[in-house]
Structure 1
Amino acid sequence: MTVNDDSFTNWKNREEIAESMIPIIGKLHRERDVTVLLHSRSLVNKSVVSILKTHRFARQIAGGELSVTETLPFLQALTTLDLGPSQIDIGMLAATYKADDRGLSVEEFTAGAVAGATGTNKIERREPRDVVLYGFGRIGRLVARLLIEKAGSGNGLRLRAIVVRQGGDQDIVKRASLLRRDSIHGQFQGTITVDEANSTIIANGNEIKVIYANDPSEVDYTAYGIKDAILIDNTGKWRDREGLSKHLRPGVEKVVLTAPGKGDVPNIVHGVNHDMIKPDEQILSCASCTTNAIVPPLKAMADEYGVLRGHVETVHSFTNDQNLLDNYHAADRRGRSAPLNMVITETGAASAVAKALPDLKARITGSSIRVPVPNVSIAILNLRLARETTREEVLDHLRNVSLTSPLKRQIDFISAPDAVSSDFIGSRHASIIDAGATKVEGDDAILYLWYDNEFGYSCQVIRVVQHVSGVEYPTFPVPVV
């Protein structure tokens, strides 16, 4: 047998093992609300090849690929436990087991590591929490995809309705088609049917009522059987407390804005300040995609090195508020053709840092350039640190933060020397640190932060909604603080 034959046989063996993992992962998710992760990446609804590629990602941790033969025993051990709703990282289980010197079996170690999700410690399943989407544009449709994907056993978040203005003949059919196919993010993973007579879209069994209204005051959500709902406003039409309060109608308990909030509306970046949300807060904002991209790495740097001042330059993909061709626009430059020009514009992300990181006294300034790509942006974060350091130290710190810290769902890390913007379409992280582009000299550090300004941001929105709804389940093993 040749070396090539050995490699192929090894690949086929790993394929077989990954294939055996899929029904276990699916059953845990459907029946127990357990999401199986591998170094913070979900394995739910993933293909054989995707599972193997996710295992390969682990080479960033110890320089070697994590084998499915190493993680399968931990996955099998989970099936023997009385698990409650949780997220369990089998990659972290495998890594911490290697470092454990107590001589425990895989089954014994796993039982101890996830004890907080078993027996009397486990979270009891809650009634499904209703969610309403007000607006169904780019972010609204991606949030809808995520809500449908995360339906699990049906005891988490439940998308009940979307509210839009009537768009003409076959409105619901066209909106369903936009949910089904996306030029950037690909096809919807599942099936979608339309019940025009009842104004309902059925996606993977989720019945979603399409409500037509021109203003929040026109809707009584209880008439549709909706109660205590979290309403996600994707329109950006109202950004202050007075305007967003219009949504607090019968059937709606909380309002989440997918744009920067104004005035006293809390701007939340999940992973950084979501724990500061008051239980009785009814209105909050998820800030902007750029704020979500820069605040987690900024916190990671400030916690380790201190930050005296900073500037962020955002190179941002064009958005729907720009013109396709030159035409009138209320803004000075956004009227010029988005696919043909780089357009200097403003960003409120720098000023929003103060809301998310009130203890950071450093002055952060910012500016932005819109460029002719439809998705994925990059923020260049230039920092003056409180102490001198080296590039190697900074990269080691940020790599560890991305893998083992409480910010690992927000911060990703890539060392590929040939990565470009389209490689990050579909990233679920708020920010991806480009190791190769990072520059450090003394107390100056420049970080290049990629982010999918549509999908990555939508994932952050969902995390905030999960938190305020009480269905943000704990992760095991517990991340290192």
Structure 2
Amino acid sequence: MTVNDDSFTNWMHREEIAESMIPIIGKLHREQDVNVLLHSRSLVNKSVVSILKTHRFARQIAGEELSVTETMPFLKALTTLDLGPSQIDIGMLAATYRADGRGLSVEEFTAEAVAGATGDNKIERRASRDVVLYGFGRIGRLIARLLIEKAGSGNGLRLRAIVVRKGSGQDIVKRASLLRRDSIHGQFQGTITVDEATNKIIANGNEIQVIYSDDPTTVDYTAYGIKDAILIDNTGRWRDREGLSKHLQPGIGKVVLTAPGKGDVPNIVHGVNHDTVKPDERILSCASCTTNAIVPPLKAMAEEYGVLRGHVETVHSYTNDQNLLDNYHGSDRRGRSAALNMVITETGAASAVAKALPELKAPITGSSIRVPVPDVSIAILSLRLERETTREEVLDYLRNVSLASPLKRQIDFISAPDAVSSDFIGSRHASIVDAGATKVDGDNAILYLWYDNEFGYSCQVIRVVQHVSGVEYPTYPAPAV
């Protein structure tokens, strides 16, 4: 047998194992509300090739490829346990088992590592929490996709309605079409039908009521059977407490804004300050996509090295706020064609750091350039540190943060030398450290942080909503503190 034959046989063997993983992962998700992860990446509803690629990607962060032959025994071990709602990372189980020298069997080690989610320790499956989307633009439709994707277990969050201003002619059909197909993020994974008689979109069996209104104070959500819902405002039309309070109509319990909040509205970056949200807080903001991209790595660097001052320069994809061709705009430069120009503009991300990370006293400045790409941005974070270090030390530290810290869902890590912006479309992390571009000279460090300013940010919004809903389930093995 030739080397090529050996490689092909090995590939087919791994395909077979990955294929056998799918029903196990699906059953754990549906019946026990367990989300199986691989280094923070969900394996639920993934194809055979996607599972294999996720395993292979582990070499970018862990230094070596992870094989399905290594993780499959841990997945099988999970099926023997009395598991409650949780997120279980089989990549981390395999990695920590490899480093464990006690001679335990895979079954014994797995049972110990996830003990907090089993037997008397497991938490009860909670009833689903209603969610309403106010606005159905770029972020609204991606959040809808995520909510529908996560509804498989029948628990957690349930998208009940979207509120929009009615357009002319077949409005609901056109909105369903925009949900079904996206030029950047591809086709919706599933089926979508429309019931024009009742103004409903049915996506993978989820009935979503379309409510037409241009005034939030006129909607009684209880008339649609909606109660104690979390309303996600994707319009950005109101950003202070007074304006956002207009949403607190019958049937709405809390309001979450997908833009920086003003005044005393808490700006929340999941992984950094989500645990500061008070139980009785009814209005909060998820800050901006750029704030979510820079604050987690800034927190990580401050904890390890200390930060005296910093500057962030964001090279940001264009957005709907800009003009396709030159036309009038209220801002100084955003009226110039987004598709033809690099446009210098302002960013509030630097000033927002103080709200999300008040313990950081270092001054942070920022500016932004919009460029002619439709999605994925990069933040160049330049820091003056409290102590000198080396590039190798910083990269080792950030790689470990991305693998085993409480920030591993926010910070990703890549060492590929040929990575470009489009490679990060669909990333679920708040930001991705580009190892090859990182610069360190004594007490100066420059981090290049990629982020999908649409999808990655939408994932952060969902995490905040899950947290304030009480349906954010614990992750095992527990991240290192």
| TM-score bracket for the superposition, by shorter chain length | over 0.9
2: CA distance, partners of 1:328 / 1:65: 52
Aligned to 2:430: 430
Q: Is 2:61–2:414's contact at 8 Å kept on the other side of the alignment? A: no
Q: Indicate the SS of the match to 1:231.
A: strand
- Asked if 1:313 corresponds to 2:313, the answer is yes
- 1:62 Cα deviation after fit: 4.6
Task: State the alpha-carbon separation in 2 of the partners of residues 300 and 128 from structure 1.
Answer: 33
Give per-residue Cα distances to partners, 1:339-364, cap 9 Å, x unaligned: 00010100000000000110100000
Corresponding residue for residue 362 of structure 1: 362
Q: Shift of residue 66 of structure 1?
A: 1.1
**5 Å matches for 1:312-461?**
312-461=312-461
Q: CA deviation at 1:471?
A: 0.4
Aligned to 1:193: 193
Mind listing any 5+ residue stretches in structure 2 that lack a counterpart? none
Alignment partner, residue 73 of structure 2: 73
SS at match of 2:111: helix
SS in 1 for 2:416: coil
5 Å matches for 1:3-42?
3-42=3-42
Structure 1: gaps spanning 5 or more residues:
none
Q: Which residue of 1 aligns with 2:166?
A: 166
Amino acid of the structure 2 residue aligned with 1:264: D
Q: Which residue of 2 aligns with 1:212?
A: 212
Q: CA deviation at 1:168?
A: 1.3
d(CA) in 2 for partners of 1:60, 1:329: 43
> What SS class does the counterpart of residue 388 from structure 1 fall into?
strand
SS for the counterpart of 2:198 is: coil
Identity of aligned residues (%): 90
- The 2-side partners of 1:270 and 1:261 are apart by 15
Per the TM alignment, residue 63 of structure 1 is displaced from its structure 2 partner at its CA by 2.8
Asked if 1:183 corresponds to 2:175, the answer is no
For 1:407, the aligned partner's letter is L
Which residue does the alignment assign to 2:263? 263
Q: C-alpha displacement at 1:61, in angstroms?
A: 4.9
* 1:465 corresponding residue in structure 2: 465
State the distance in 2 between where 1:42 and 1:153 align: 14
Which string of whole-angstrom CA distances, capped at 9 and with x for unpartnered residues, describes residues 381-401 of structure 1? 010000000000000110100
Query: Structure 1: how far apart are the matches of 2:63 and 2:319?
Result: 38
Provide the alpha-carbon RMSD of the alignment. 0.7
Query: TM-score normalized by structure 1?
Result: 0.99
Task: Supply the distance in 2 between the matched residues of 1:412 and 1:462 (Cα, whole angstroms).
Answer: 18
Q: Structure 1 residue 64: deviation in Å?
A: 2.1
One-letter amino acid of the structure 2 residue matched with residue 357 of structure 1: L
Per-residue CA deviation, residues 270-318 of structure 1 (Å, 9 max, x unaligned), is 0000000000000000000000000000001000000000000010000
Q: Secondary structure at the match of 2:94?
A: helix
Residue 104 of structure 1: CA displacement? 1.4
Q: Displacement, 1:83? A: 0.6
The letter of the residue matching 1:134 is Y
Alignment of 1:56-71 (within 5 A): 56-71=56-71
Corresponding residue of 1:91: 91
Q: Separation in 2 of the partners of 1:276 and 1:11? A: 47
Q: 1:107 maps to what in 2? A: 107
Instruction: Specify the SS of the correspondent of 1:284.
Output: strand
Q: Cα offset for 1:152?
A: 2.3
CA deviation vs aligned residue, 1:59-118 (integer Å, no higher than 9, x gap): 245532111111111101111111110000001111111111222111111111101001
Letter in 2 for 1:244: L
Which SS does the other structure have where 2:152 is aligned? Answer: coil
TM-score by length of 2: 0.99
Secondary structure at the aligned position of 1:217 is classed as helix
**Deviant stretches of 4+, over 3 Å:** none
1:101-180, aligned counterparts within 5 Å?
A: 101-180=101-180
CA positional deviation for 1:216? 0.3
AA at the equivalent of 2:441: E
Asked whether the 8 Å contact 2:28–2:35 carries over to 1, the reply is yes
Q: For the residues of structure 1 that align with 2:472 and 2:85, how far apart are their CA atoms?
A: 9
User: How many residue pairs get matched?
Assistant: 481
Q: How does 1:275-294 map to 2 (within 5 A)?
A: 275-294=275-294
How many angstroms apart in 1 are the aligned matches of 2:146 and 2:305? 36
SS at match of 1:344: strand
**Structure 1 match to 2:253:** 253
Task: Give the distance between the partners of 1:65 and 1:333, measured in 2 at CA.
Answer: 46
Note the C-alpha offset of 1:21.
0.2
Residue 267 of structure 1 aligns with an amino acid whose one-letter code is N
Partner of 1:48: 48
Distance 2:241 2:103 in 1: 57
